[in-house]
Amino acid sequence: MGQFLADELTALGAEVEQRPLGKQPGKEHLELPPVVIARYGNDKNKKTILVYGHYDVQPALKEDGWATEPFELTIDEKDRMYGRGSTDDKGPVLGWLNVIDAHRKAGIEFPVNLLCCFEGMEEYGSEGLDDFIKVESKKYFKDTDAVCISDNYWLGTEKPCLTYGLRGCNYYSISISGPAQDLHSGVFGGSAHEPMTDLVNVLSKLVDPQGNILIPGLMDLVAPLTEEEKTLYPDISYTMDNLHESLGAETGIHATKERTLMARWRYPSLSIHGVEGAYSAPGAKTVIPAKVIGKFSIRTVPNMESEDVNKLVFDHIKAEFAKLNSKNTMDVWLQHDGKWWVASPKHWNFSAAGKAVKQVFGVEPDMTREGGSIPVTLTFEEATGKNVLLLPMGSSTDAAHSVNEKLDKRNYIEGTKLLGAYLHYVAEEPTV
């Protein structure tokens, strides 16, 4: 994918480099995929906009329940383009390439200098990218006036939005091991401590079915809800029907759209993703797994600091495991983390994007935050010291990270126009 992207950019007349990031930490036999960086245009009289995207995707197998081959783009009769990465994040990345292509074919001067930073490890915590950005912010990215990232989603399916906040994500593993190898449950059931029994007990102490996090002290880290902030929610164009449509079910926790949006944007959440090492196939296997690893993550918000969260998580899990009086051994560790981010929506970078939305879609965008984490957003802000804008292309029904991920053709085409119009309005914006 990195090579493909580099070839496409080169063909469009951009200066392109593939930068190696070294080995994957803890997996020294694996070379990290390269960062594809590019410059299109180098005119001192133009603003320079740095755009980011990623060419890697979440895992996908047809057996997971896909209606089509996940790695073959399939377009249905409603112009929905199905395929892993269609909306997260290959579609938006191609959007930027389409903008360059369109200007060349139409013979229109490109309004800004464009810097591209496309990585291949976003879905695994952007390993190696932070240091790269910090170093290049003084070098390859030094002319940057503002940053734009298209890697999130509209709140619903009709109205575009500009996003000025993101939750962070701390991803944890809990490992519990006992016997030297898997055991026959008939022979040893009742006479040996079972790691899976301990694990479900510990996992059940993390979050309740209503989404309340049970880790003592964690909620005390959350910035209180102000009266002013409260007033932002009623005007957002979002309904409980939007939630139910994207869930494909009416299993929402909260009664109102306001509380639902707050739960997604400004409160933390804890999700249990699965168990590694236990029996996970269909059918029946009478095994006592010898070692099981539970995976869960916490979505973080202002003002939760990762180190504080880790300490509360580790202390709580160690205390809960100790209560079990099990002879098995437990270990818990942070697999990766990314900090939350909140930006200023008053900046010209956002104004330009607002005008572009009006131009292309004829509506004022919603100003939103996101539940998902894009850690690199904060890295760009801190490294460049410039404003960062999130300008989504896909809609809430795109099913990123799950089966049958798709991007509507309308979002792809109008979204490409949006990215182009944004660059033109950026060029017109007063920079002070």
Binding-site residues for Mn(2+)? 54, 88, 123, 151, 401
Q: Which of 8, 56, 89, 127 is catalytic?
A: 56
Within 274-303, the residues that bind a copy of itself by CB under 8 A are 274-290, 295, 297, 299
Comparison of 145 and 370: residue with beta carbon closer to a copy of itself? 370
Segment interacting with a copy of itself (CB under 8 A) among 34-42, 141-149, 195-203, 218-226: 195-203
Within 403-422, the residues that bind a copy of itself by CB under 8 A are 403-404
- Tell me how far, at minimum, the Cβ of 185 lies from a copy of itself, in Å: 4
Beta strands (DSSP E) in 277-425 are 287-288, 291-300, 329-338, 341-342, 366-370, 388-390, 406-408
Number of residues that bind a copy of itself (CB under 8 A): 97
By CB under 8 A, residue 203 contacts a copy of itself: yes
**DSSP annotation string for 319-332:** HHHHHTT-SSEEEE
Comparison of 45 and 251: residue with beta carbon closer to a copy of itself? 251
**C-alpha distances in Å from residue 19, one per residue of 10, 22, 119, 195:** 15, 9, 10, 43
Segment interacting with a copy of itself (CB under 8 A) among 39-47, 105-113, 261-269, 352-360: 261-269
By CB under 8 A, residue 221 contacts a copy of itself: no
**C-alpha distances in Å from residue 116, one per residue of 109, 113, 135, 331, 351:** 18, 10, 15, 40, 21
Comparison of 19 and 401: residue with beta carbon closer to a copy of itself? 401
Comparison of 387 and 404: residue with beta carbon closer to a copy of itself? 404
Q: 206 and 296 in contact (C-beta within 8 Å)? A: yes
Query: How many Cα atoms sit within 13 Å of 29 on the Cβ side?
Result: 0
By CB under 8 A, residue 192 contacts a copy of itself: yes
By CB under 8 A, residue 163 contacts a copy of itself: no
Within 235-254, the residues that bind a copy of itself by CB under 8 A are 243, 246-254
- Tell me how far, at minimum, the Cβ of 195 lies from a copy of itself, in Å: 9
User: Using CB under 8 A, which of 242, 349, 373, 395 touches a copy of itself?
Assistant: 373
Q: 319 and 358 in contact (C-beta within 8 Å)? A: no
Segment interacting with a copy of itself (CB under 8 A) among 136-144, 156-164, 231-239, 267-275: 267-275
Phi, psi of 177 (to 5 degrees): -135, 150
Q: Among candidates 358, 415, 359, which has minimal Cα distance to 81?
A: 415
Within 72-101, the residues that bind a copy of itself by CB under 8 A are none
- Rounded distance, CA 138 to CA 390, Å? 22
Within 100-129, the residues that bind a copy of itself by CB under 8 A are 124-125
- Rounded distance, CA 346 to CA 387, Å? 10
User: Using CB under 8 A, which of 171, 341, 350, 422 touches a copy of itself?
Assistant: 171
**Bridge partner residues of 23 (DSSP):** 31
- Tell me how far, at minimum, the Cβ of 196 lies from a copy of itself, in Å: 4
Sorted by sequence, the CB contacts under 8 Å of residue 110 that are 6+ apart come out as 40, 41, 100, 103, 423
Comparison of 111 and 156: residue with beta carbon closer to a copy of itself? 156
By CB under 8 A, residue 430 contacts a copy of itself: no
| Annotated catalytic residue 109 | no
Comparison of 34 and 289: residue with beta carbon closer to a copy of itself? 289
> How do beta strands 48-54 and 146-149 pair?
parallel
Comparison of 186 and 224: residue with beta carbon closer to a copy of itself? 186
Binding residues for substrate: 151, 184, 286, 299, 373, 401
Binding residues: 54, 88, 123, 151, 184, 286, 299, 373, 401
Within 27-66, the residues that bind a copy of itself by CB under 8 A are 58-59, 64-65
| Annotated catalytic residue 122 | yes
- Tell me how far, at minimum, the Cβ of 205 lies from a copy of itself, in Å: 8
By CB under 8 A, residue 334 contacts a copy of itself: no
Q: 39 and 15 in contact (C-beta within 8 Å)? A: yes
By CB under 8 A, residue 181 contacts a copy of itself: yes
**DSSP annotation string for 123-152:** GGT-TTHHHHHHHHTTTTTTT-SEEEE--S
Sorted by sequence, the CB contacts under 8 Å of residue 181 that are 6+ apart come out as 290
Asked if omega into 143 is within 30° of 0 (cis), the reply is: no
- Report DSSP state, residue 348: H
Residue 74's SS3 state is strand
Q: Which of 8, 119, 122, 130 is catalytic?
A: 122
Give the active site residues.
Answer: 56, 122
